[in-house]
Each structure stands twice: as C-alpha cells, then as structure tokens.
Amino acid sequence: MILETDVMQIIVYAGNAKSLAMKGIKEAKDGAAAEAKKNFEEAKSNLKIAHQQHTDILQRFANNPDEPATMFLTHAQDHLMAAITAVDFAKEFMDLHEEMQELRTLIKKENN
C-alpha cells in the first residue's frame, strides 16, 4: 500500500529542489556565484531524495500490480518533473550569468 506520507516526501523534496534551483539562478544573476553553486548542489541533493522516493514507490507498484495509483501520486510526479526541469535549467542559467559577469568585468577593464 502506498502511504500518503511516502508520496508527500516526493512533493516536499521536489519542492525544495525547485525552490533552491530558482534561488541559485537569482544569486547567480546578482553576482553571488558561490552562493548560487551552494544552493544548486543542495537542490540536486533534494532532487535525488525525491527521485529515490519515487523509484521506491514504483518498485512497490511493480511488486504489487493491483496497487491503485492515486491522484496524489500523480500530483507528486508532476512536482518531481517540474523540479527536474527547474534544476536542469538552473544550471544553464547560472552558467550564463557567470559568463555575463566575466564579460562585464572584461569590458570594464578595457574601458578603463
């Protein structure tokens, strides 16, 4: 039986991952690369926990095909997919912001 608390773990950790990824993007935009990377690593850690919880639930379904899926599980899977996307994009945006900071620094040096 899939317990609501098991499903809720996906929602909690996926939500944390998404929030931390978005925070990392903002920090990178503000020029705080070290903080951005710290939050990004924490986002990946939370995402890993959410993904493992999801895998565990799927294994239980595989071992008990009569287990009914619920809308709550579907909702959790939606959160997980949104978090995966946010973390993937966060890495790209953070890299872009870091590169833009480097270019701004070079331009300032050339203009002085």
Q: Which of 104, 69, 90, 92 is nearest to 18 (CA)?
A: 90
d(CA 97, CA 22): 13
Active site residue 75: yes
Output the CA–CA distances (angstroms, integers) from residue 14 to 9, 50, 88, 91, in the order listed.
Answer: 8, 6, 13, 16
Joined together, the tokens standing for residue 28 give 């990178």
From the CB of residue 23, how many other CB atoms can be counted at a distance below 10 Å? 18
Of these residues, 51, 54, 75, 79, which one is catalytic? Answer: 75
**Active site members:** 75
